[in-house]
Structure 1
Amino acid sequence: MGWLSKLGLGISLMVLLVSSSLLAVVLGYVGLVVYSAMMTGTPIVGLLIDMTIPYLPVVAVLLTLVVLSGTWFSWSLVRPASVPKHERLASVASRAEREVPLLGSLGLSDSLAPPEPTPEERAERTLAELKRQYVDGEIDEREFERRVDRLVSNDSLEEARADRERRAVLNDGERDRT
């Protein structure tokens, strides 16, 4: 995680506050000039045309800064929030990322995808499915024992535990480096 993403919330808030304040000052000044022209009877259309040339680029730049920094600020607030993970949401986000390449940099499909089951979870699900099939009478006792023996002979449960411990050690090492 880069320094920009760590400071994103603060930077975006500062840019939002400064640019929106400057935009308010510029628009307030334009409003004051128009109000003064109305009170003195000066034609407003000519005055607005004269003011458009020097102030339009300033207003456009400030308005762009307000919109971009507001979006960045909102994204910085929402991004760490807990987002429900679902395969359908991930597929919709993946399709949107293919259609709009700019969305690919946000990594929405990765953040919406449910986590892959660990080997231990897969083995436990397989064992639960075998038990269900045996109880429902879909397989007999001999077939159940054969499949359980194959599951255990693969040492899936032990491999899953070892894999989980390895990942925990690697994650601890990464946290220590950051």
Structure 2
Amino acid sequence: MGLVDDSRVTVLLGGFLLSLLALVGVTALGAFAVLSALLDPAAGAPVLVVLLQTAAPFVAVAAMLGVVSILLLVGLAVAVVRSASIPRDDRLARLARKVERYYPDARGLGLSDRFEPTTEDRIEELKQQYVAGEITELEYERRLQDLMGEEGVSDERVRRERDRTDRKRDREFEW
């Protein structure tokens, strides 16, 4: 799932952009109001008082919009990080296990489990190697059988993989 498909990210991004647009608009209106008040010859009050009376409401609204914008930006960053995919790789999993071994506090994060490729990931990688011609059909079959022996592989997935391999082999022999 891409970031654009995540409704939380989309809503937060839209809210952040709208709050920034509102902040720019309030700031522009405030600047226009202050300039108008300063250029008004009818006002007999001191310039500093006119400036403070005119700008105070705009500064308050701009400050609130700034806080809302910052909160939306932080929420957006958190949502993007959470929806980003975590790479699964044996090397990363080994590195995470070493870190967990030397730093006991890191065990609570469970990084090695997050980085450990699933059997499904391993089957996909094996299939890509076979399609790319990096391994022979015999090697593909042997490794696929080894992977199918692992726990957690659904029978449906095993059947689909065997069917795909059989269809590919049949197509190769048709020539």
Whether these two folds match at TM > 0.5 is no
With the length of structure 2 as denominator, give the TM-score of the two structures.
Answer: 0.44
With the length of structure 1 as denominator, give the TM-score of the two structures.
Answer: 0.44
